Amino acid sequence: MIKMTEVNHQFAIGKKGKERVVPVLHNIDLHVKQREIVAIIGRSGSGKSTLLNLMSGYIRPTSGEIRVADQIVTNLSEGDWANFRLAHLGFMFQSFQLIPSMTAFENAELPLVLKGIGASQRKKSVMEMLEQLGVAEYAGHYPGELSGGQQQRVSVARSLILNPPIVLADEPTGSLDSDNERQLLSIIQHLNQDRGTTFILITHDEQVAKIAHRTITLKDGHLLNPNGKGDSYEIH
């Protein structure tokens, strides 16, 4: 589902003409198969979020090739990437990223609006999804009126409402207590088994890594074990 070949990324800091180049990722070769749950672990600053942003097209690699869902996406335009994300990718974030001025229903509905789905079908799909995640009764509530666990479930509803084949998750349990973390991990496993959804989980959390089929370590911009084998180290 995702294949990265000899991917490098660097950025420049400092004033124009006096920039200093900072390498972030080095010769990344990574293949994530359909129906896999892959956890990518590593200390802060190892390049995990950069890797996720490359997979989702929010930044471009300095060199190398990226394929997502059998399509070369390395040089897609911003407009094409936006359409591609809508069709193929779902996202989970530590901070939930719900829009405060929109209700739970409206937040979950947003991808359907962007895709031009009719109002009656949107209502049916959103309520079914919120029901599956146990937050249908809060459809008319705003994010500020919901607990952290409820907000995360609404965020998950939004990420899954278009039934994307791939979900990219950046520290998805980072703002949750133990009970809500277990519930979210159970949802991820259920979706993987029943829908065949592929998950890439960026995490510091060893409990999250435990549900993965493979755990890959990123250290100082290098993949230590791209096949999920070999030595690892404690997550900090």
The domain locations on the chain are 2-97+163-223
* Tens-level pLDDT at each residue, the chain (236 residues): 899 999 999 988 887 777 888 999 999 999 999 999 999 998 888 999 899 999 999 999 999 999 999 899 998 999 999 999 999 999 988 788 899 999 999 999 999 999 999 999 999 999 999 998 889 999 999 999 999 889 988 998 999 999 999 999 998 888 788 888 888 899 899 999 999 999 999 988 888 889 999 999 999 999 988 787 544 434 43
| Helix 104-114, helix 119-132: angle, nearest 10 | 130
Say what the pLDDT of residue 18 is. Answer: 77
| CB-based contact 211:15 (threshold 8 Å) | no
- Residue 201, beta-bridge partner list: 39, 169
CA-closest candidate to residue 203, choices 28, 33, 49:
49
For every residue of 112-134, DSSP letters joined together read: HHHTT--HHHHHHHHHHHHHHTT
4 three-state secondary structure: strand
pLDDT for the residue 189: 94
Which helix (H) or strand (E) element contains residue 208? Answer: helix 206-210
User: Kind of pairing, strands 20-32 and 2-13?
Assistant: antiparallel
Residue range 2-97+163-223 in CATH 3.40.1440.60: no
Judging by beta carbons within 10 Å of its beta carbon (0-12, 13-18, 19+), is residue 40 exposed, middle or buried?
buried
The amino acid sitting at 166 is I
The answer to whether 52 and 170 are in contact (CB under 8 A) is yes
Query: Strands 166-170, 198-203: parallel, antiparallel or unpaired by DSSP?
Result: parallel
- Residue matched to tokens 């009764």: 137
What is the model's pTM?
0.86
